Amino acid sequence: MKRALVAGAGGFIGHHLVNFLKQKGYWVRGVDIKEPEFEKSRSDEFYLLDLRYWGNCLEATKGIDEVYQLAADMGGIGYISGNHAEIAKNNILINTHMLEASYQNGVKRYFYSSSACIYPSYRQQSADVIPLKEEDAMPADPEEGYGWEKLFAEKLCQYYQEDKGMETRVARFHNVYGPLGTYKGGREKAPAAICRKIALAEDSSEIEIWGDGKQTRSFLYIQDCVEGIYLITQSDYPKPLNLGSEELVTIDQLVEMTAKVANKNIRIRHNLSKPQGVRGRNSDNSKLYKITGWMPKFSLLEGLKLTYPWIAERVAQERNMQGCQ
């Protein structure tokens, strides 16, 4: 039986990945600074460890065949644009120590969760954006803080592969969403934030949307994400690969689709003073498809039909709790 470590198993993607690996028959150790928020982890053992610290990384990676490194100080554009120093410092400590500890403990395969935030801003200035290919990453001009750290951690994976012979695999996630993800508190990304705002809104009322609503993104459903992580890890391809959807929508279209799923009439109030990130971003998955045969199975509408009810139920439960107090 293969032994996997999921670092960041208390978080959104890590928690879903634990479930996926268990279904595949793995023995799984989950590690995080916190337990999963919404349901118990199905990992065989769960360690509460702060992976910024060297000794904890050594303990976490001991006796492990495959490491899935998803632990990070992370959030949506509101969070990452306001915390450059803290995010870059925390994540560089986690990634440097996790790579070296994995190497020292003889880990056979190391997966690293990078981000579309490594792509240069000069390629993402138009809403009608050309889908990003892996080679577009250079010359570098990534997102401040979070994006620079992710890009350097990608390079570290490359160096450990080239100099030390450790098999490293890297995926660049493009905005992943789904049930059991963060939907409030400041770290939530656009799909979850919009689901929450619509769930809280009365029919025919108004919600606030950041920016003019014409900025574009593609959004990847969580089940497609964990399948892609697994295929990339098992592949022979050592360089970074996009893992995203190619279904480009404006943020206003995302709101319209979510309102339709919620069966509510919603008016939008645009707030231009809020963080907006790049103007347009889309994934080009052709390399990943060629290497692994992966393509997303869930359209955005299908993913929202699974995500909105989960967030709406949480919002309703919170309202009931407040009503009881």
Q: Which residues bind ligand GDD (CB under 6 A)?
A: 74, 76-78, 80, 115-117, 146, 173-175, 188-190, 193, 209-211, 215, 217, 251, 274-277
- Amino acid identity, position 211: G
Pairing assessment for the beta strands 249-250 and 216-217 based on DSSP bridges: antiparallel
Per CB under 6 A, the list member of 6, 70, 232, 300 interacting with ligand NAD is 70
Please say whether the beta carbons of 5 and 109 come within 8 A: no
> Which segment (32-40, 130-138, 267-275, 304-312) binds ligand NAD by CB under 6 A?
32-40
> Which segment (10-18, 160-168, 226-234, 289-297) binds ligand NAD by CB under 6 A?
10-18
Q: Which of 146, 177, 221, 230 is catalytic?
A: 146
- State in Å, rounded, how far the first CA of the chain is from the last one: 49
> Which segment (6-14, 103-111, 121-129, 209-217) binds ligand NAD by CB under 6 A?
6-14
Q: Token pair for residue 85?
A: 């120093």
**Distance between CA atoms of residues 247 and 296, nearest Å:** 10
175 interacts with ligand NAD by CB under 6 A: yes
Q: Which of 305, 301, 153, 128 is nearest to 137 (CA)?
A: 153
Spell out, one character per residue from 72 to 101, where the chain touches ligand NAD: x when CB under 6 A holds, - when not.
Answer: xxx---------------x---x-------
**Distance between CA atoms of residues 279 and 217, nearest Å:** 9
52 interacts with ligand NAD by CB under 6 A: yes
Question: Cβ contacts of residue 96 below 8 Å, gap of 6+?
Answer: 156
Residue 146: active-site member: yes
Per CB under 6 A, the list member of 10, 78, 191, 303 interacting with ligand NAD is 10
Q: Three-class SS of residue 184?
A: coil
Phi, psi of 220 (to 5 degrees): -105, 130
Active-site positions read 146
Residues at the contact surface with ligand NAD, assessed by CB under 6 A: 8, 10-14, 32-34, 50-52, 70-74, 90, 94, 113, 115, 173, 175-176, 182, 189
